[in-house]
Amino acid sequence: MEIGIIGIGNIGATIARKLKAAGHTIRVANSKGPDGVRGFADGIGATAVDVNGAVGGAEVIILAIPLPAMAHLPTSLFEAVPPEVPIVDTSNYYPGLRDQRIPEIDEGMPESAWVSKQLGRPVIKAFNNILAYSLAELGVPEGTPGRLAVAVAGDNSRSKQIVTTLVNEAGFDPVDAGPLEQSWRHQPSTPAYCCDYGAEMMRKGLAAAVKGDAPKKRDQMPELFVRLGPNPSHDDVIAMNRSLNPLT
């Protein structure tokens, strides 16, 4: 498939590598134009483009940029994109730590519903509830015991199926998290967020989420990271995330 990826931070770059290795044609872009991504693109065999080049003619579009940056994408960017093309939102909201406050989200709007509103297009929420290290290093072939899971939420069944296939190709079990309005169940500091769970525990985490509970825990994260020290291990971070929402 022709896949356009906007953003080559830890998540976007890892998705690009994974899907290129799976045999897809990858175009990458960021806010700096083709020259800003050319070194990375050349290194993985992708094509460096601007944001219009990432979107035009793509069969899947993946947005791996900070959530507030969604509002600064060109308003015309998706006008010519056919409605059957999935647009994947991988972002998370961290007010005070990285992002400016967004009143609609603070009042309860699911993060990806807000993204959909900014873009004027439906989106699929995926690849947001897995740590960059896990995404890069812990993917395994389908059927491997202990395989980690990634939640996928959205309203269009065909688009969701395309994205679940990509999650599987990246090395993870896709778990259907329901419609986009339920994507709050795998936002930061929910039981299903960045805990390195397999599919069964992921489903338990999604079901255990309590509306409005996660933001209070999310806002404690800077203090909790301070307690972990300057160089926490991956296992330390996973243990901390699990401790916020213990599952039995």
Give the C-alpha separation, 37 to 242, whole Å.
35
pLDDT at 232: 95
- Decide if pLDDT at 27 tops 90: yes
Q: What is the pLDDT of residues 129-167, one digit of tens each?
A: 999 999 999 999 999 999 999 999 999 999 999 999 999
Specify which of 67-71, 192-196, 215-219 reaches the highest per-range mean pLDDT: 192-196
Instruction: State how far the alpha carbon of 179 is from the alpha carbons of 126, 147, 149, 176, in Å.
Output: 12, 24, 18, 9
Q: What is the pLDDT of residues 157-197, one digit of tens each?
A: 999 999 999 999 999 999 999 999 999 999 999 999 999 99
Instruction: State how far the alpha carbon of 49 is from the alpha carbons of 7, 54, 101, 137, 223, in Å.
Output: 11, 6, 31, 27, 39
- pLDDT band of 248, cuts 50, 70, 90: confident
Written as six digits, the tokens of 154 are 């959205």
Please count the other Cβ atoms lying within 10 Å of the Cβ belonging to residue 145.
Answer: 6
- pLDDT band of 218, cuts 50, 70, 90: very high
Q: What is the pLDDT of residues 88-135, one digit of tens each?
A: 999 999 997 678 889 999 999 999 999 999 999 999 999 999 999 999
Task: Parse the chain into domains and list their residue ranges.
Answer: 66-181
In three-state secondary structure terms, 154 is coil
pTM: 0.96
47-67 in b/e burial notation, b at 16+ Cβ within 10 A? bbbbbebbbbebebbbbbbeb
pLDDT at 222: 87
Give the C-alpha separation, 22 to 168, whole Å.
10
pLDDT at 100: 86
Residue 174's identity, in one-letter code, is P
Q: Which of 64, 34, 61, 35 is nearest to 49 (CA)?
A: 34
* CATH hierarchy code of domain 66-181: 3.40.50.720
pLDDT at 188: 97
